[in-house]
Amino acid sequence: MDARGPLCVGIDPHAALLAAWGLDDDVRGLETFTRTVVEALADRVAVVKPQSAFFERFGSRGIAVLETAVAELRRAGALVVMDAKRGDVGSTMAAYAETYLRPDAPLFSDALTVSPYLGYGSLAPAAELARESGTGLFVLALTSNPEGAEVQRAVREDGRSVGATMLARLAAENARELAAGAPLGSFGAVVGATLGDLSSFDLAVGGPLLAPGIGAQGATPADLPAVFGAAVRNVVPNVSRAVLRHGPDPAALRAAAERYAEEVRAAVAG
In a 3-state reduction of DSSP, which class is residue 144? coil
Report yes or no: 10 and 34 within 8 Å, Cβ to Cβ: no
Please identify which of the residues 14, 85, 241, 254 carries the catalytic annotation: 85
CA distance 11 to 16: 13
Residue 79's contacts (CB-CB under 8 Å, 6 or more residues apart) are 46, 47, 48, 110, 111
CA distance 131 to 137: 10
- For residue 111, the surrounding DSSP H or E stretch is strand 111-114
Q: What is the DSSP letter of 159?
A: S
In a 3-state reduction of DSSP, which class is residue 152? helix
Active site annotation includes 49: no
Classify burial at 268, counting beta carbons within 10 Å of its beta carbon; exposed 0-12, middle 13-18, buried 19 or more: middle
CA distance 195 to 217: 11
Question: Where would I find the H helices in the chain?
Answer: 15-20, 27-41, 53-56, 59-75, 90-101, 124-133, 149-152, 162-179, 224-228, 241-244, 250-269
Classify burial at 262, counting beta carbons within 10 Å of its beta carbon; exposed 0-12, middle 13-18, buried 19 or more: middle
Residue 78's contacts (CB-CB under 8 Å, 6 or more residues apart) are 4, 41, 42, 43, 45, 46, 47, 48
Residues labelled catalytic: 85
